[in-house]
Amino acid sequence: MTGAHGEAGTASSPLPLSTRALALEFGRTRRLLASGEWHLSSTDAEAVAAVLARLTAPLPARRGAAERTRATDGDRRLQRILRTTVHHLDAGAVSPTAAALLAAVARALLPWHAAPNPPVAAAAPRYGPVPGAAEGAAPPTEAGEALLPELTSLFSALLATRAPGTAPLTPPVESWQARYTGRFRHYTRPASGVWAADTVACPECGGKDGPWTVTCDWRRVTLGCPCGTVYHRHGLSFSEMWLVLPES
Ligand SMILES: [Zn+2]
């Protein structure tokens, strides 16, 4: 464990980033772009443009700002990128291909889920600390910012495929399966500023702890319970499922 509690804002935090999925998606997307196999649909373009706007948002100009203030500005930008990414991942409008990319971005930026601004309500979504990191550890601002140039370049290139007169072309995405031992939490917002959370339970045996067999094609998520029940009416959004799975 690499505890850095109380050192929020330090530039050399040892917190790791989960970038394996992102590296795979970078490679896949670059190949699809090079071969002309992915021309964004209008809904994908909307999501890509929204994330790109967050990626390229300038930091506030602060004359003589302390290092710590600058780091907090950087963290705030990374948090906005994460929140916009998760919003579009979960909104259900993007193609599975775009969802896979957004999911990989969200996983890499997960340390900013609660930093610098924690979720406003106690029952708001929480994903726990990044594996190997102490809860409350400072997010690795520099490592996160180091991802921005390549993300910006990739999202710009994707958006450029949406040229006038170009028909949308969305390549297929492979489904995947994972095992997960533990609980899935589903969050709802019954009223503005009010959050509620439920633990997913098997409709047959009531089991909540798995081990679950998770199957996902980025259209929907299917959960397999040890009792043999397989179901998809669990209400989980992609982020509620994906962001709690350990990196494979
Ligand atoms: Zn069951």
Kindly report, residue by residue over 52-100, the tens digit of the pLDDT: 999 999 998 888 878 888 889 999 999 999 999 999 999 999 999 999 9
In this predicted structure, what is the pLDDT of residue 6? 37
pLDDT digits (tens, 9 = 90+) for 181-201: 999 999 888 888 788 889 999
Q: Separation of 214 CA from ligand 1 center, angstroms?
A: 13
Domain boundaries along the sequence of the chain: 20-159, 176-242
| Distance between CA atoms of residues 98 and 78, nearest Å | 20
Q: Separation of 234 CA from ligand 1 center, angstroms?
A: 12
In this predicted structure, what is the pLDDT of residue 67? 84
Q: Separation of 107 CA from ligand 1 center, angstroms?
A: 28
In this predicted structure, what is the pLDDT of residue 247? 81
| Distance between CA atoms of residues 22 and 215, nearest Å | 19
**DSSP result, the chain:** -B--TT-TT-TT-------HHHHHHHHHHHHHHHTT--B--HHHHHHHHHHHHHHTPPPP--TT--HHHHHHHHHHHHHHHHHHHHHHHHSS-S-HHHHHHHHHHHHHTGGGSSSSS--SSTTS----SPTTB-TTPPP-HHHHHHTHHHHHHHHHHHHTT--TTPPPB------EEEEE-S--EEEEEEETTEEEEEE---TTT---S--EEEEE-SS-EEEE-TTS-EE-TT---HHHHHTTSPP-
Q: Separation of 226 CA from ligand 1 center, angstroms?
A: 6
Q: Separation of 230 CA from ligand 1 center, angstroms?
A: 8
Q: Separation of 222 CA from ligand 1 center, angstroms?
A: 13
Q: Separation of 229 CA from ligand 1 center, angstroms?
A: 5
- Please compute the mean of the pLDDT values over residues 149-171 and round it to a whole number: 93
Q: Separation of 106 CA from ligand 1 center, angstroms?
A: 30
Q: Separation of 208 CA from ligand 1 center, angstroms?
A: 8
| Distance between CA atoms of residues 16 and 119, nearest Å | 21
Q: Separation of 195 CA from ligand 1 center, angstroms?
A: 27
In this predicted structure, what is the pLDDT of residue 185? 92
Q: Separation of 134 CA from ligand 1 center, angstroms?
A: 33
Mean pLDDT of all residues belonging to the chain: 88
